[in-house]
Structure 1
Amino acid sequence: MNIAVKLCSYPGLDDRITIVRAGDEVDSVFVRTEKFNVLIDTLGTPELCQTALNLLGEQARDRPVIVVNSHMDWDHFWGNAAIAGKAPIIAHAAALERLRDPSCRQTLREKADQEARFRSVELVGPDVTFSGSTMLHGGDLSLELIHTPGHTPDHIAVWIAEIRVCLAVDAVEHPIPEVWSENADDLRLLRSSLLRIRDLNAQFVIPAHGMRCSPSTVDENLAYFEKLSDRVGSLNEVQLADPALSRSPGLRLQDFVPLPNGMAAQTIEFYEKCHQTNLRATIAAHKE
């Protein structure tokens, strides 16, 4: 698969922020401050990350660079090897647990078997970790790294208060985000993270998928989970036990959110699986 990397922005977005878009796969973000530059996520391969750095050119070299790994999902950190040793890499402490889990290398083996582009990937973890939240003080801009679990245990969002921009990564997504597991606790964490992001009152909320920047996406995600909870609450035990419940009329993905026109069948299938996980977690919460 040949993925094109490009630099782009959104209307009205501060010009110190650049969206680094790897096709339809994922967006990372480059932020310039007076003291240093920050790259939030390194894309899915070292080659993609290096292409992004080449496109950024002198603005990626005129001052020190700090890399932030938002979480240890492959499309967000497998490009780390392109910048390892050249810049410090920061992540939440829970990222180390995910990196050490055997499933991390298993995912790499599976994807390398499927696509040659992943065979050059070397798993490189963070140099610096933190718990809770931490702050990067860049002079004109300060980047608050906020632990926002639920999508994954290690997930962080980035809040830039001076320009009211939230880089929400995968905690917010269009059409829906995915909860980490079918466990009710993970669902509560994701909904709590969405509320925390909403309460920032950001002017721009920028996820890593969906090519959107409107704060309304947060409200839409919260409304989806609320509607899902209400619908589950109206079902009886026999209905709740149906393994095909997510495909039943009234409980399908498209019954909760409008799917974008022209969305590829493969992408729809992906979000249907996300919806199934969200539904099962909602059922678990209902039973509690």
Structure 2
Amino acid sequence: MTPAAPETIAPGVLRLTAPNPGPMTGPGTNSYVVGTGPCVIVDPGVDDDTHLEALVAAAPGAIEAVLVTHAHPDHTGGARRLAARLGVPVRGCDLALAQPYDPDHRVDAPLADGDVLDLGAVTLETVHTPGHAADHLCFFAREARLLLAGDTVMADVTVVILPPDGSMSDYLASIARLQAMPIDAIAPGHGRRLDEPAATLAHIVAHREQREAQVRDALAAGPTTARAIAARLYPDLDPRLTGMAATQVEAHLIRLAENGEAARDGESWRAGN
């Protein structure tokens, strides 16, 4: 397979797309080479020799770490082998997940909110953004005011929130935090660079509020299930994604329950008191 050519998306930031396109990954996972020396590789994506070698070849200086935004296998798949090949640590959030999607993933050197990496001409700040996953980190390249968003923001599609490690309340709080940051552009984990961050983040909030209102209306009609609400909200959905859609609705229901607007009775949900 011919490796994707590196694309410069900001000074000191290169993007290469991993060869894992699909319904959940779009064109593939975006991997980033950040820094002018030393450098880090963010989200190597897949355990694919050609892709991993292309990442190494693209680095303009010595690679000091492999960073992961969160422990989902389309982001972590190549992390351990790449780190072993280079003799460097895997760095990310070391929060243990209730439902690990990549049981082989582990963090060698934890990163916490506010940690800063000096990568030559790039200063990379760690931002903890739980929501899509409890262990999710974004990385903010200060000089370019560019946010490496992982799966907190995706291009042209809605981010999936999957309980128990995903939380809609946490997600909206993370988006609010990003709205307060001096971001000029967003480099998502999947898809194109987003050059209107304020509009992008505002659209995410509006979309989630609209969905929440629709779920609230469904509860008002009487007790129901997450799967029944999903079938109502997503009538033309690819059948392969119906289970995911029901879990997404469940994330909204859990948020409503946290606010006293919904209650759960086994598999059924009803409006709160």
Tell me which interval the TM-score lies in, with the shorter structure as reference length: 0.7 to 0.9
Specify whether residues 201 and 277 from structure 1 end up closer, same or farther in structure 2 by C-alpha distance, changes over 3 A only: farther
Secondary structure, aligned partner of 1:149: coil
- What is the aligned partner in structure 1 of residue 269 from structure 2? none
Specify whether residues 62 and 138 from structure 1 end up closer, same or farther in structure 2 by C-alpha distance, changes over 3 A only: closer
Specify whether residues 205 and 61 from structure 1 end up closer, same or farther in structure 2 by C-alpha distance, changes over 3 A only: closer
Letter in 2 for 1:89: V
Secondary structure, aligned partner of 1:84: helix
- What is the aligned partner in structure 1 of residue 15 from structure 2? 19
Secondary structure, aligned partner of 1:6: coil
Counterpart CA distance in 2 for 1:228 and 1:4 is 41
Residue 152 of structure 1, CA deviation: 0.8
Q: Kindly report the root-mean-square deviation, in angstroms, between the aligned alpha carbons of the 2 structures.
A: 3.1
Secondary structure, aligned partner of 2:29: strand
User: Relative to total residues, which structure has the larger helix share, 1 or 2?
Assistant: 1
Q: Does the CA-based 8 Å contact 1:132-1:147 persist in structure 2? A: yes
Counterpart CA distance in 1 for 2:235 and 2:31 is 29
Specify whether residues 37 and 227 from structure 1 end up closer, same or farther in structure 2 by C-alpha distance, changes over 3 A only: same
- What is the aligned partner in structure 1 of residue 92 from structure 2? 91
Letter in 1 for 2:135: D
Q: TM-score, length-normalised on structure 1?
A: 0.73
Residue 282 of structure 1, CA deviation: 4.2
Counterpart CA distance in 2 for 1:62 and 1:277 is 45
Specify whether residues 240 and 87 from structure 1 end up closer, same or farther in structure 2 by C-alpha distance, changes over 3 A only: farther
2:31 paired with 1:29 = yes
Q: Does the CA-based 8 Å contact 1:177-1:221 persist in structure 2? A: no
Specify whether residues 253 and 172 from structure 1 end up closer, same or farther in structure 2 by C-alpha distance, changes over 3 A only: farther
Q: TM-score, length-normalised on structure 2?
A: 0.77
Percent same amino acid among aligned pairs?
19
2:189 paired with 1:193 = no
2:204 paired with 1:221 = yes
Counterpart CA distance in 2 for 1:192 and 1:68 is 23
Residue 139 of structure 1, CA deviation: 3.2
Residue 158 of structure 1, CA deviation: 0.6
Residue 178 of structure 1, CA deviation: 1.8
Counterpart CA distance in 2 for 1:270 and 1:64 is 40
Q: Does the CA-based 8 Å contact 2:167-2:251 persist in structure 1? A: no
2:229 paired with 1:245 = yes
Counterpart CA distance in 2 for 1:4 and 1:280 is 44
Runs of 4+ in 1 over 6 A off after TM superposition: none
Secondary structure, aligned partner of 2:17: strand
Counterpart CA distance in 2 for 1:79 and 1:200 is 31
- What is the aligned partner in structure 2 of residue 66 from structure 1? 65
- Equivalent residue for 2:110, pick from 110, 114, 129: 129
